[in-house]
Structure 1
Amino acid sequence: MCGIFAYVGSQTDAPQQVITGLKKLEYRGYDSWGVAYQTGNKLQVTKQIGKIGDATLRALDSTLAIGHTRWATHGGISVANAHPHLNPNQTLAVVHNGIVENYSELKQTLDEYPFKSETDTEVITALLDKNLKSNSLKKALILTTQTLKGLNGVVVAHAPTRQIAAIRNGSPLVIGKTDSGYYLASDTTALAGIAKQIVFLAEGELALLSQEYISLTNFEGQPIVINWQPLQLSAEAVNKGRFPHFMIKEISEQPAVLGKVLSDQAELLVFQQKIAGNKLILVGCGTAYHACLAASYYFAQLGGTWVQAFSASEFKLWRNMIDDSMHVLFVSQSGETIDIIEHAQWLHQHEQTFSALVNRIDSSLSRLASQTLSLGAGPEICVLATKSFTAQLATFLLLATPQPKAMQIKRQLQQLIEALPRVIGRTYCEQHLEPLVPVLQTNKNLFVIGKQDCYPLALEAALKIKESTYLHMEGFAAGELKHGVLALIETGTPVFVLVPDSVAAGEILTSAQEAKARGAFLVGVGPINKLDRQLFDLVLPTPALGLATGIIQSVIFQLIAYYTTVVLGNDPD
């Protein structure tokens, strides 16, 4: 997950424009950043470790530049490993998003090249440098890409021809057109407010950009007609506005997002009919996987329907077993998650139909799927998924509900929408959430337990705390406490208990008693009528909303993660 931005055109502030674009993509990589720009017949590079933040470049006169924000995968966090990577004579600069799976064996064939980094990306630079000795830029990039294993997006600045070349083999790339030239980015959010027309590179397409023209071809060199489309995303939609961080802005947008999910159900009804009688396979990564796992409980509880959830990173062994009695639904906020795209491409090549639940209907996954369900949650800039997760949960609740029970679930979701502003508001935070921050700060281990549909939400709650605060928290099924976890609970260890609005509440309270017996500091999260105030040291009350209670519990943990992160001095975005 890295950010790429480039510009070539008539404007002479290309490096500054790239810096501005990279700041919009910082959420895609904040270990290091760099910009390469053309001066005369050479390329110069500026690279730094850390977040791009408020970085500026001195005034530089250049009409061509490419840049990158890095999420380190191969090689440590250092200036040498930051992109772009230059060739020895400074005529070529490369930035890259993806993983070159065979970089080690390729590197062994390039023993004469003076490598300066530990990255797989510099292998691409070395191969291009070699292939350019006897080929055009386009041909050299095709030859290089065909050598690479894995899913990658590669962008190249070439000084002799004053061109930018880009090729897509897995990782997304989008081109924007303006009166002054062309922009290229790894995400449309970076082009909001800049380009009015865009075109997405499809799999196996190569773009050549210069000040005067653009051309698209496939790997065989055949030209491709460019179908420009309007960019619907406004600059306001990707700004923080009155909020200090994107995370709290996106948390605050959830009542409106869930209202949209509740009102836009036509495509859900069509999909419900489509999968009737089929076994449903749900595949996601990280937060989306937790939504899939929660959905499997919704389907079981509401309709007695068999649904299996898989983490995309572990799905490979099972995809060979997909048959006509099954339907696969891939779940991804961005629609660009590499682990999911790889499976989608495989199923597509094997003529297996599948569907997608995405927040970005212009995504790669949408273009591969036979049917796409849209979350409609709007841009999510913060690294942590918040509003997309609760939109996924609400969508799955509606999808899992048989028509005779539909009115009840819709009523619970409407009550949830009405209750959320009170939970997100300052009063709830001051009364219930801020007292928790010192508890989290002063403990080395934190735990959260859930039962039935609250178990996946416990996993998601722990993920939110880990990825924002960098504190160690683990989520468990309540019944698993006695199978080893209790050994880690000491006097004062915080244990959060997600209490469901169901008959399972009694069972999880029994598990909470076991933790209390070991000295745990118990925090109950759930309907006030289910919480035993004598058992819990702190309670975080929610309305009693049936299965929809889990959504408000998830929002509470998003808020805990946010406020704790701010107090710790970390960047929640």
Structure 2
Amino acid sequence: MNILLGAIASSDANALLQEGCSQLPDQPYHFAHVCAFNDEILIQQAERYPAPNRTYPVGLVCLGFNPHDSGLTLFRERVLVALLGHLENTEQIMSKLTSLGYSHNLGQSEEVIAALIDWYDRIHKNFALAVQLALKECRGYFALAAIKKSSTDNLYCATLGPSLFIGQNQDGCHFASDAALIRTRSSLLIELECGEMAELNPRHIACFDSEGKPRKKSPLPAHAAGHFDYHMQADIAAQPLLLAQLIQHYQNAQLSGFLEQLAAGHQYQRVLLLASGSSHHAAATAGFWIEQIAQLPVHVEYASEYRYHNLIVERNTLVIAISQSGETADTIAALRHAIQAGHQDTLAITNHPASTLSQLAKYQLMQYAGEEMGATSTKTFSTQLLCLYFVALKLAAGKRIDISIAAAELNFLPNAVAAVLNLEEALKQWAQQLAKVENLFLIGRNLHFPIALEAAQKMKEVSYIHAEGYPGGEIKHGPVTLINRTVPVVACLPWDLMAEKMLANLQEVRARQGEIYVLSDVGLSSVEGFYCIRMPRKLPLLNPVLYTIAFQLLSYLTAIARGNQVDTPRNLSKTLDKE
């Protein structure tokens, strides 16, 4: 996940930035480094923290995994903006700026925001007010930093969702999107909330609410700010920003040249998806997307079984192999088998660019999920889903199918995911009850059946409950005989064309005195034995991502309630390198 770090000091900000970067996890990053001094701004791009050849009072560091998108721009040598996340209403703001005389060739979202700040600053001659007014006009899920080149005495940071932490010591003030990067230099940290902005100078921090009014913030002990008890908890919480960044990369056409090739009209007649474990559930979900959006036939195979089929190789087939590590032995063997059988166009979706799977495939699509410290798949699963959704969109675009409605859903996803995370207290109540059972069914229909399978796998992996995923319509064919007061059913119930049928399925469960737990995007009343949590706004195609994250949170909370060690589940390995 990308990281934003900034500092302003009375003499040299480099010490604060360098100390922050020394706290980074041991993994490769691309650095975009900003030095500001005496009305000058220098920007450096590097693979490691650059050693400046002079002191400077103001600095920023943008760290990411994608070297093509630093989220940094210096607009017309006047306004510098660093963006972390996704701007939702880019086109609307661009249209306004064009009418005001700004170039319609504004490219990245950070350029659009910088131009908007520049316009407000020209009107009001007040840079702090300009940042506040621009922020009020923006929609999305992002954090930003801003500097005015002609006045580097102040550094501004603001957020529309992601966490931003601010600290102060005798050297100056600093902020970061990850509290771990600054807590060693500040004993107390301030956390900005959605819509808030801070003005920093070497000796003072001023915070403002979403209306631009001064707001006094109570600092937190540094050790408590941004702290998570478990890696799985941190990985789940990281997903709104992570998905926002991935969407931003996609909309900037900076994820994969292959995606743009698809959109240009590369025609395929069918798609074959190869994967194992959680990745297979992502593939099964993508099968629905590709058939619905791109109108192509899809075949989804377990990688471990694919090698032993009598293959019929059909021309113009796109083969997609999915593995977060890129080292899953079954998936590598399946892709090799497909290539040897004569399939020429192969795509690897993975989190590791140097992996065996990436090198074996003709094309690559990186997830940019960062290191997943927990043993069970959370953020790597959601980024797999999103990458596969991108493929479905581009396959459709290549066939000249209108994708405007499907693509528009991406803009609403990060905030919807954040809203799901806000359901933690309600899900915790469910977890306290589910922690007492040893058997459990999870059901979904259509797009949500693979999500029920993934939810069941999560329950097995971390809570050690015997959980089974089923299509809602299949519960009556056998499983219904096992349902009673001690075997509850958890259901995905988005209010769509399948909702009435799912309610009928749940009536069969109710008739056998089975307890029912329902996730739905409509307000259903909870009564004894029927418990409902209302999900955020409906995203007809991307709903599976929202339900996935709700189930991740439920599995985590259930495991905690059972006293399990969620980060090191028994008998579970992160990467399976044996067939």
TMscore range, shorter length: 0.5 to 0.7
Deviations 1:129-172 (A, max 9, x none): xxxxxxxxxxxxxxxxxxxxxxxxxxxxxxxxxxxxxxxxxxxx
**Structure 1 residue ranges without an equivalent (≥5):** 1-23, 26-239
| Structure 2 residue 236 is the aligned partner of structure 1 residue 251 | yes
More deviation in 256-265 or 512-521?
Answer: 256-265
Structure 1 286/557 Cα, relative in aligned 2: closer, same or farther at 3 Å?
same
CA distance in 2, matches of 1:536, 1:259: 37
Aligned partner (choices 512, 517, 527) of residue 523 of structure 1: 517
CA contact (8 A) 1:501 1:546 kept: no
Equivalence for 1:455:
449
State the Cα distance separating 1:280 from its structure 2 match.
0.3
Equivalence for 1:285:
276
State the Cα distance separating 1:491 from its structure 2 match.
2.3
Structure 1 residues 410-559: aligned runs within 5 Å = 410-425=407-422, 428-430=423-425, 432-529=426-523, 531=524, 533=526, 537-542=530-535, 543-559=537-553
State the Cα distance separating 1:319 from its structure 2 match.
7.0
Equivalence for 1:355:
347
Structure 1 residues 126-137: aligned runs within 5 Å = none
- What SS does the aligned partner of 1:520 have? coil
| Structure 2 residue 329 is the aligned partner of structure 1 residue 338 | yes
State the Cα distance separating 1:350 from its structure 2 match.
5.2
CA distance in 1, matches of 2:404, 2:508: 38
CA distance in 2, matches of 1:556, 1:412: 18
Deviations 1:537-564 (A, max 9, x none): 2112112111211111110110111112
Structure 1 274/459 Cα, relative in aligned 2: closer, same or farther at 3 Å?
farther
Structure 1 residues 178-197: aligned runs within 5 Å = none
State the Cα distance separating 1:277 from its structure 2 match.
3.0
Deviations 1:415-473 (A, max 9, x none): 22112223224xx212x111112321222211111100000000000001100111111
CA contact (8 A) 2:493 2:521 kept: yes
CA distance in 1, matches of 2:232, 2:283: 22
CA distance in 1, matches of 2:529, 2:244: 33
CA distance in 1, matches of 2:321, 2:310: 12
Letter in 2 for 1:409: A
State the Cα distance separating 1:501 from its structure 2 match.
4.2
CA contact (8 A) 1:498 1:524 kept: yes
CA contact (8 A) 2:268 2:318 kept: no
State the Cα distance separating 1:405 from its structure 2 match.
4.5
CA distance in 2, matches of 1:302, 1:535: 40
| Structure 2 residue 227 is the aligned partner of structure 1 residue 242 | yes
- What SS does the aligned partner of 1:503 have? coil
Letter in 2 for 1:243: F
- What SS does the aligned partner of 1:558 have? helix
Q: Percentage identity across aligned positions?
A: 30
CA distance in 2, matches of 1:453, 1:475: 13
CA distance in 2, matches of 1:326, 1:261: 26
CA distance in 1, matches of 2:405, 2:265: 23
State the Cα distance separating 1:281 from its structure 2 match.
0.1
Structure 1 residues 105-124: aligned runs within 5 Å = none
| Structure 2 residue 275 is the aligned partner of structure 1 residue 304 | no
- What SS does the aligned partner of 2:408 have? helix
- What SS does the aligned partner of 2:282 have? helix
State the Cα distance separating 1:351 from its structure 2 match.
5.5
Letter in 2 for 1:363: S
Task: Provide the TM-score with structure 2 as the length reference.
Answer: 0.54
Structure 1 534/570 Cα, relative in aligned 2: closer, same or farther at 3 Å?
closer
Letter in 1 for 2:233: I
Structure 1 412/350 Cα, relative in aligned 2: closer, same or farther at 3 Å?
closer
Letter in 2 for 1:415: F
CA contact (8 A) 2:274 2:334 kept: no
CA distance in 2, matches of 1:395, 1:504: 26
Structure 1 350/325 Cα, relative in aligned 2: closer, same or farther at 3 Å?
same
| Structure 2 residue 246 is the aligned partner of structure 1 residue 261 | yes
State the Cα distance separating 1:507 from its structure 2 match.
1.3
- What SS does the aligned partner of 1:264 have? helix
Deviations 1:295-316 (A, max 9, x none): 1111222233211111111111
Equivalence for 2:316:
325
CA distance in 2, matches of 1:506, 1:269: 39
CA contact (8 A) 2:417 2:546 kept: yes
Structure 1 526/346 Cα, relative in aligned 2: closer, same or farther at 3 Å?
same
Aligned partner (choices 359, 368, 371) of residue 376 of structure 1: 368
CA contact (8 A) 1:526 1:549 kept: no
CA distance in 2, matches of 1:330, 1:275: 19
Deviations 1:233-257 (A, max 9, x none): xxxxxxx983221111111111122
Letter in 2 for 1:538: Y
CA distance in 1, matches of 2:262, 2:462: 35
CA distance in 2, matches of 1:336, 1:274: 31
CA RMSD in angstroms comes to 2.5
Equivalence for 1:164:
none
- What SS does the aligned partner of 2:228 have? coil
CA contact (8 A) 1:522 1:535 kept: no
Structure 1 272/516 Cα, relative in aligned 2: closer, same or farther at 3 Å?
farther
Aligned partner (choices 393, 405, 410) of residue 408 of structure 1: 405
Equivalence for 1:155:
none
CA distance in 2, matches of 1:407, 1:257: 23
State the Cα distance separating 1:533 from its structure 2 match.
4.5
CA contact (8 A) 1:335 1:365 kept: yes
Structure 1 391/488 Cα, relative in aligned 2: closer, same or farther at 3 Å?
same
Q: How many matched pairs?
A: 333
Letter in 2 for 1:490: N
- What SS does the aligned partner of 1:300 have? helix
- What SS does the aligned partner of 1:433 have? helix
CA distance in 1, matches of 2:310, 2:236: 35
CA contact (8 A) 2:432 2:561 kept: no
- What SS does the aligned partner of 1:408 have? helix
